[in-house]
Amino acid sequence: MEERTDIELIELARQGDKDAFGLLLQRYQMIARRFAMRLVANEDFAQQLAQEAMLQAYLSLDHLRDAARFKGWLCGIVLNIYRSRLRARRVTFFSLEAMTGGLQFDAVPLSGITVTPERITEERELHQTILGVINTLEPKDRDATLLFYYEELSLQEIAVLSGVSVGAVKVRLHRARQRLKTNLLSQYPEIIPRGQRRKTMIKVTIADVVKREQTDDQGRSHTLHIIVLQDEAGKRALPIWVGSFEGSSIAMGLGDFSTQRPMTYSFFVSLLQAINAQVEQVRVEMLKGNTFYAVVKIRCGRTVREVDARPSDALGLAVLTGSPVFVAEDVLQVAGVDIPSAAKATPARSGVESILREIGEIQRQEQEQLSHARTQEEITRAKEELIAAIFSS
């Protein structure tokens, strides 16, 4: 049996001869594993993919149309399994608020986000529109685009699948993007704004920083810090949910709350001053989904740079440098809230005062604990226990 061809072994395996498939396994398992290694560059994961592919191949032998092409068919199974794993993959970030540093207040994930039928319809239409334009591309460019943007394969993975170099994949994607941009702008100008169009910016101030305790559906308590921006006309407000540290730091800056050592934003400002750089302005320019995006405009001599930032970080710098803050008019229209006509023109910032009182109480308690000084012997013993815990075998 060892001298038999692939076609003969496959025919015997289809008739139930497990030894015949065992010989196929010996013949091609290393090939399947090497192919998987080109996809994942991880030996253990590649072995898992190869083993699962061999099992699926055994169960699906009846679907192999050309027995002479078993090798290519098996590698295709490896690739399909890998792509299925990619689609099932989920990434958990350390902290949603820490990663974003600025979400729409009503997007706080406590009781879930309500998606309206209108929004579902709009997103479906946009999805179909883009796919329609993609389908007008040349087949090679279309396949590269779908693999990169929809299947989320890397350039190297697309190169392996397509049998071309990474450079060729880059050329195809560049060509596809240019074609897509041209077609979308000509057919659907509302989808991609032209570069010549400048956003209308509205000057705002920080009306308050508010701390809120909310309970989710499982009864768990969550602490929220909301920065509330107010336009100059006093007609619209923009609430932005930020992290606890960022919210407290901004409140401390607004209240001129002093600390013995510089906090993070104060340190950033000192770094800018050390290189003679100034923050000229801060802009909240965009809202994608439920996440705000900001820009910090910095001048150093004759050089001006605009740096992408989380709104919380950008606003923290603006408070300490006294830099003006602006919000894009379209962002304010979408995410802003009308201020009642009977409301005070200048908010009292009671939220800031409440946060500062809480911080002051925490500092007082810490000082009280420090007043009960430990003996040198206790300090030495604590250090020894720490080092022993870290470096113990």
**Tell me, what's the pLDDT at 152?**
66
Task: Return the pLDDT at 77.
Answer: 87
In CATH terms, the fold of domain 201-366 is Bifunctional nuclease domain (3.10.690)
List where CATH 1.10.1740.10 sits in the chain.
Answer: 6-88
Run means of pLDDT, 10 residues per run, the chain, 393 residues: 77 86 87 82 81 87 84 84 63 40 53 51 68 83 81 75 84 87 65 55 93 78 87 90 89 85 86 92 89 92 89 93 93 89 77 88 75 75 83 68
> What is the C-alpha R_g of the chain?
30
Question: Which residue type does 388 have?
Answer: A
Instruction: Enumerate the CATH 3.10.690.10 domain ranges in the chain, comma separated.
Output: 201-366
- Give the pLDDT score at 166: 87
> What pTM was computed for the model?
0.51
Largest interatomic CA distance in the chain: 93
- CA distances from residue 122 to 41, 47, 125, 178, 183 in whole angstroms, order as listed: 40, 43, 5, 24, 20
Q: Where in the chain is the domain with CATH 1.10.10.10?
A: 135-197
What pLDDT does 372 receive?
A: 67
Residue-level length of the chain: 393
Question: What pLDDT is recorded for position 203?
Answer: 94
What pLDDT, on the 0 to 100 scale, is given for residue 4? 81
Report the C-alpha gap between 71 and 68 in whole angstroms. 8
Q: Which CATH number is associated with domain 6-88?
A: 1.10.1740.10
Domain 135-197: which CATH number of 3.40.50.300, 1.10.10.10, 3.40.140.10, 2.60.40.10:
1.10.10.10
